[in-house]
Amino acid sequence: MYGIVNKSIEELVVHNFGAEKWEEIKTKSNLDIEYFISNESYDDEVTFVLAQTIAENLNIPLSEVLKSFGEWWILHTGKNHYGYLLESGGENFRSFLLNLPAFHNRVMMMYPKLMPPEFQVSHVEENSVHLHYLSKRKGLTDFVYGLMSGLGKFFATEVFTTHITSVQGENTHEIIKVEWK
């Protein structure tokens, strides 16, 4: 993953718990990285180790760390660094979700080594869709729940998510019902 992901995790921790807590988490993670460079590529394991260390250090479930980070990613990192992309993705929550399958194509122009997940939508109704989350990475589904929550707040829309099923296979394929008011 790119360094901007890990920098964003750092910003989330510092914002909520302070710089000292971040230094403590960084030390306990046993990562030999002083600081993250946004456009540098880092092994995915770095991000997973940081998330797990945060969960252990704060005594909260990893799923909550990932959900919080997903929301933070939209409301802070995305908004501050890619606001124009978020705004061009749709005029409201529904249109953004319908355009989501093409979203990472635009992001890949900035980060050519990016290995983004794939999103597909099906069962499109007035106030709900089935969101298909496909990824070579395992263990980030809760991050997607956080993304949906963050997007709901970004578009001032009440959002509800329900896990429908996990499609068995080599890669992650989760189907999530996303509803909004």
pTM of the model: 0.91
Domain with residue 115: its CATH number is 3.90.1520.10
Residues 74, 11, single domain; the answer is no
Query: Do 71 and 11 fall into the same domain?
Result: no
Domain assignment of residue 117, given as a range:
65-180
Does one domain contain both 112 and 49? no
Contacting residues for 91 by C-beta, under 8 A, at least 6 apart: none
| pLDDT digit string, tens, across residues 77-86 | 988 887 777 8
Assign 88 a pLDDT band (cuts: 50, 70, 90): confident
In the prediction, which pLDDT does 109 show? 65
Length of the chain: 181
96 & 13 share domain: no
Looking at the fold, whether 164 and 103 belong to one and the same domain comes out as yes
Residue 133: strand pairing partners: 119, 174
Asked if 149 and 133 sit in the same domain, the reply is yes
| Average pLDDT of the residues of the chain | 92
From 39, 60, 81, the end of a domain falls on 60
